[in-house]
Amino acid sequence: MKPLKVAVVGLNFGGEFPEIYRCHPDVGEVVLCEADGERLKNYSTVFGYTECYQSYDDLLKSDVDAIHITTGIPNHHELTVKALRAGKHCACTVPMATTLEDLCDIIRVQKETGKKYMMMETTIYTFQTLYVKKLLEQGEFGRIQYLRGIHFQDMESWPDYWMGLPPMHYATHAVSPLLYLSQSIPATVCCHGSGQMRAELTKQYGNPYPVETACVTFHDRPFVADITRSLFEVAHEYVEGFTVLGSRGSFEWNIENEQPIVSRFEDGREITGLFYDRGRDIRTERVQCPDVRDEYLPESIRRFTDSCTVLDPKNPHKSITQGGSHHGSHPYMVHEFVRSIVEDRKPEVDAVTAAYWTSVGICAHLSAMAGGKVMEIPDFANL
Ligand SMILES: NC(=O)c1ccc[n+]([C@@H]2O[C@H](COP(=O)([O-])OP(=O)(O)OC[C@H]3O[C@@H](n4cnc5c(N)ncnc54)[C@H](O)[C@@H]3O)[C@@H](O)[C@H]2O)c1
């Protein structure tokens, strides 16, 4: 197969990705698309890109094989569908879309066109998630008993489309690691809105809640997951953390810049018969989640787990400074998307998987607006 020609669309947060594609061994050419002419010119000049488009429709007429969309939330659905219909493989940043209809539409168009679709979810490729995945596979935690995902972030003064966004419309960072690690499919969600927002923030989306908190059940799983999300008027530092409580061991990560905690029973065993003492001793330790890039990534993109592409060092994108550029995840997403095309297989976060992960948040907000009504998650696998 000839090396791929890939386009990155939207160069703010998206400015992180062209250099990773450029260094990937299966990619031959990288082109840029950015509606803001000045941003496009600055980026292409600083990093030396020659094929550049200000118009997305012009990009679609070009000979690129694949498109990675990193534009603002409101046009993810529209740009994704256009890319697939133009015969391009398509990766899109989160969220996949913000309505159930649009999720279903993307699944249908992906099936019709046969092109790859991947949602570029950062949280499943962080140092923390990859570490827990390994421990779960090794049976270190025993049976999963409970999951919790949190994402607190203050979006004051971010671009207009964020203002008053229902917290659960951008919930994938709190949801995805839990569903990925437990390999579960959500069945129902019940959610409550919490707190009060100042009136101006309620106008754009009719959402009155600064915080939403949900309980999710799964098909064929004995545990539930709690998801809590805030976007405005909450004094908590930025964090995209998660908790896995197991019958033998547990993992908790609630503070962005602190090492997570792993807890285990001191005697390391599960109880199989009668137990005569009062409780068991627990050993807790702070853990450094290792960088396992040598195991998974081609040599030429490994350095991107701990280095970022910054257009303006005096004013780097918040995603570069908050969350340490998403804890090493960016080159994993690029590698998975590219390899899914080269190997002609489904990407790890294909359209159906992405729809399940995104729909938890969409249904959670619908539930919150209906006073906590239990909502069923659609059967995306059998559309
Ligand atoms: N951890 C993560 O996965 C993560 C982190 C940050 C942002 N994001 C997602 O990335 C997206 C972008 O975030 P951001 O902060 O850079 O947003 P932004 O709104 O600041 O920037 C979006 C860029 O896309 C460009 N653009 C918009 N429509 C376009 C079009 N039709 N054609 C070409 N260019 C277009 C804009 O000019 C702008 O430069 C958001 O949707 C957000 O959800 C994900």
> Residue 323: which CATH number?
3.40.50.720
Do 277 and 310 have their domain in common? no
CA of 10 to the centre of ligand 1 (A): 5
pLDDT band for 15, please (50, 70, 90 cuts): very high
- Residue 310 is predicted with a pLDDT of 84
- Residue 165 is predicted with a pLDDT of 98
Would the CB of 75 count as within 6 Å of ligand 1? yes
CA of 75 to the centre of ligand 1 (A): 9
Do 137 and 284 have their domain in common? yes
CA of 272 to the centre of ligand 1 (A): 52
- Residue 73 is predicted with a pLDDT of 98
- Residue 92 is predicted with a pLDDT of 99
Task: Kindly state the tokens that stand for 373.
Answer: 């009504």
Ranking 45-49, 257-261, 270-274, 278-282 by mean pLDDT, the lowest is 270-274
Amino acid letter, residue 292: V
**Strand order across the beta sheet in which 239-246 lies:** 282-286, 261-265, 249-253, 239-246, 144-152, 225-230, 211-218, 186-194, 375-376
Do 54 and 179 have their domain in common? no
Do 238 and 253 have their domain in common? yes
Would the CB of 12 count as within 6 Å of ligand 1? yes
CA of 376 to the centre of ligand 1 (A): 30
Would the CB of 71 count as within 6 Å of ligand 1? yes
Q: What is the pLDDT of residues 169-184, one digit of tens each?
A: 999 999 999 999 999 9
What percentage of the chain exceeds 90 in pLDDT?
A: 90
Residue 203 reports pLDDT greater than 90: yes
Do 341 and 367 have their domain in common? no
- Residue 321 is predicted with a pLDDT of 72
Residue 1 reports pLDDT greater than 90: no
Please, are residues 151 and 171 in contact by the beta-carbon 8 Å criterion?
A: yes
Do 84 and 25 have their domain in common? yes
**18 within a domain of the structure (yes/no):** yes
Do 238 and 302 have their domain in common? no
Task: Kindly state the tokens that stand for 84.
Answer: 């697939």
CA 138/CA 286 separation, integer angstroms: 19
Mutate to test the pocket of ligand 1, among 8, 12, 57 (most ligand atoms within 8 A of CB): 12
Do 38 and 139 have their domain in common? no
**In CATH, what number is assigned to the domain containing residue 285?**
3.30.360.10
Residue 276 reports pLDDT greater than 90: no
Q: What is the pLDDT of residues 212-240, one digit of tens each?
A: 999 999 999 999 999 999 999 999 999 99
**218 within a domain of the structure (yes/no):** yes
Would the CB of 58 count as within 6 Å of ligand 1? no
Do 337 and 276 have their domain in common? no
The predicted model scores a pTM of 0.97
**354 within a domain of the structure (yes/no):** no
Q: How many domains does the chain have?
A: 2
Please, are residues 146 and 223 in contact by the beta-carbon 8 Å criterion?
A: yes
Please, are residues 228 and 173 in contact by the beta-carbon 8 Å criterion?
A: no
Do 175 and 103 have their domain in common? no
Going by CA atoms, what residue is nearest to atom 15 of ligand 1?
A: 13
Do 180 and 270 have their domain in common? yes
- Residue 228 is predicted with a pLDDT of 98
Q: What is the pLDDT of residues 306-332, one digit of tens each?
A: 888 888 888 888 777 776 679 999 999
Do 85 and 145 have their domain in common? no
Going by CA atoms, what residue is nearest to atom 30 of ligand 1?
A: 35
Atom of ligand 1 nearest to the CA of 72: 41
**356 within a domain of the structure (yes/no):** no
Supply the range of the domain harboring residue 73: 4-121+295-349
**φ, ψ of residue 40 in degrees (nearest 5):** -60, -45
